[in-house]
Amino acid sequence: MNPKDVFPRRNLPGEAEVWGRAIEEAIRELEYGVQGQSTNLQSDNRANASNFQELARQVSQLRQNQTRLDAAIRAVPKSQQSLGSAANFSLGGGWNTVVSTSITVPDGANYARIAAYGSGQVVSTTTTQNVETQYRVVVPGIGEQPAAPGPWAVGYGDFRTILLPSYAWNAPVTPGQVLTAQFQVLPTDAGAYSSPNGNSYAIITLRATFTG
């Protein structure tokens, strides 16, 4: 019922007219109250809908900003380096890994610039065997340096071969992947280096710069 509607003529005894008017006024007050609440509720719904739309827009913008921030962080180069060394070793037949060192690909990285380089020497006291060697650095799963001959020279009662491995690669990587640089030596005659020599040593450095 609309609060502005006119009530039908009361068919009440005279002494009940006051009561009838009071009832009609009470009904009108209730109807005005319901109408006001309905209007307020509609206004609240419109306001809430607008607020929810604005909140959804802000959440979407926040997610976009977070995505851009994550991409920017991944794009910042991250460098790691490790060092390995060994001494007083012998050589057998085939390629010998005399020293190695490793680093682990960090979270968010999927590409790397990898460099491995080192220095060393192998020493032999043989007087009857070939002391020539080759050397290289290898990163399994990434690549290997072409073998290079080690120049040798006569020392104080021995033969000393200088080793200077160095190589670099660009390669895709995955977080948690372990990169290992191996310093390897191949003797022409393993018998020349079958005994450890205190003057033999090898140092290898592995460096990698990662991006997302």
Local confidence pLDDT in tens for the 212 residues of the chain:
554 555 455 554 555 556 556 665 666 666 555 555 555 555 655 666 677 777 777 777 777 767 766 666 666 778 999 999 999 999 999 999 999 999 999 998 999 999 999 999 999 999 889 999 999 999 999 999 999 999 988 877 899 999 999 999 999 999 999 999 999 999 999 999 999 999 999 999 999 999 88
For tokens 């009530």, name the residue.
Answer: 7
Specify the pLDDT at position 173: 96
By C-alpha distance, which of 162, 87, 86, 161 is closest to 126? 161
Q: What is the DSSP string of 51-66?
A: HHHHHHHHHHHHHHHH
Q: How far is CA 197 from CA 48, 121, 137, 155, 158, in A?
A: 83, 10, 22, 13, 10
Extents of the domains making up the chain:
14-74, 78-211
Task: Calculate the dihedral angle through the C-alpha atoms of 62, 63, 67, 69, rounding to the nearest 10 degrees.
Answer: 20
For tokens 């909140």, name the residue.
Answer: 55
Give the chain's end-to-end CA distance (angstroms, integer).
Answer: 69
By C-alpha distance, which of 191, 182, 183 is closest to 132? 191
Contact 163, 185 (CB under 8 A): yes
Q: What is the pTM of this model?
A: 0.67
CATH number of the domain at 78-211, please?
A: 2.60.120
